[in-house]
Amino acid sequence: MAVFEGTFAGDLSNLRLGIVIGRFNDLVTDKLISGCQDCLKRHGIDVEPNTGQVDYIWVPGSYEIAMVARQLAFSDRYNAIICLGAIIRGQTPHFDYVASEAAKGVAAASFQSGVPVIFGVLTVDTMQQALERAGIKSNLGWNYALNALEMASLMQQLDSSTRSSSRSDLPPANETIALPRVKNENANTNREY
């Protein structure tokens, strides 16, 4: 039985990362980016724009992050995508909708593409809580970058392992499987809408 675990060492010069950042609450997201870049630099990643290793994509807010992350994940250009944003609770239910859809969208981008898409969107009650998580107490941007490195490494290991021992009777991971429709005998088909 094999054991697989992502690593943070070795040659990372071929690693490509996309970082999607929500501009709304940029006081917080700017700090998350700094923490993220610090981690990546310490692991040998060139974080400068236009060098080819890390691309930065700005979107209006956290709600828009998932759409862009999905596009990047399906581009076959990146080993991992890091999504950074900050959603701070207000006095209306808007927070709940944005936070829920951002989380679901980022997860769907990862599941559908097979590319690690890291959810680095803070969902907090106050600006103070956001700032504490973006640098006052610790900077979660560092953790999100570390998660991306680990998952990119792990997925590369799994890809090479499954390629060498793949089963021909299984469809490729990116192929949609059509499931037969099951008729529900108990369903009321005479509903009026």
pLDDT above 70 covers a percentage of the chain that reads: 84
Please report which confidence band the pLDDT of residue 13 belongs to, taking 50, 70 and 90 as the band edges. confident
Using pLDDT thresholds of 50, 70 and 90, give the confidence band for residue 160.
confident
Sequence ranges of the domains in the chain: 17-164
For residue 154, which amino acid is it? L
Confidence of residue 145 (pLDDT cuts 50, 70, 90): very high
- State which CATH number among 3.60.40.10, 3.40.50.960, 3.40.50.620, 3.10.180.10 fits the domain covering 17-164: 3.40.50.960
pLDDT beyond 90 at 176: no
* Contact indicator for 5, 154 with CB cutoff of 8 Å: yes
Task: Kindly state the average pLDDT of the residues 165-191.
Answer: 45
As annotated, the active-site residues are 94
| C-alpha separations of 132 from 40, 101, 129 in Å | 21, 24, 5
> What pTM was estimated for this model as a whole?
0.82
